[in-house]
Amino acid sequence: MSEQKIDLKSGLEALLKIVSYNIRGGITVIREHIHHVSANTLGWIGIIIIHLSTIPTLLAMLTGLTEKTPPVDMVLATWVGLFLFFIKSVIERNVLNIVTVGLGFAVQAGIMALILFK
């Protein structure tokens, strides 16, 4: 019985060493690459969230749940900001952001056209 406890204890110690080594290695990789990945990812997620800011109201109008439109100044400010970000992406030749912003403009314009011609 005591031999099994010793084997179990040494096995657990070996497992903890392996896990600890893998965690340290993973943390090192994250530290080396997180600033580049997070900056790009956060920018991309920010673009999507800005695009989604008017979608709930537009979809509610499209389905007839409300007649209230989003404030024009909010929509205008959002579109101007996204247009400037689109120009920045074109200058930087950042294809992911160009596609994301362009697709967002197309979807929002499509929804607005469906509301207008409903």
pLDDT tens, 67-106? 888 888 888 888 888 898 899 989 989 888 888 889 988 9
pLDDT at position 57: 84
Is the pTM of the predicted complex or chain greater than 0.75? no
The mean pLDDT value for 12-40 works out to 66
DSSP 8-state class, residue 1: -
pLDDT at position 87: 93
Q: Cβ contacts of residue 68 below 8 Å, gap of 6+?
A: 57, 61
37-41, 49-53, 63-67, 73-77 — which is least confidently predicted?
A: 37-41
Q: Which residue has the higher pLDDT, 42 or 1?
A: 42
Taking residue 71's Cβ as centre, other Cβ atoms within 10 Å add up to: 11
Q: What's the CA gap between 81 and 12, in Å, rounded?
A: 55
Q: What's the CA gap between 89 and 95, in Å, rounded?
A: 7
pLDDT at position 81: 87
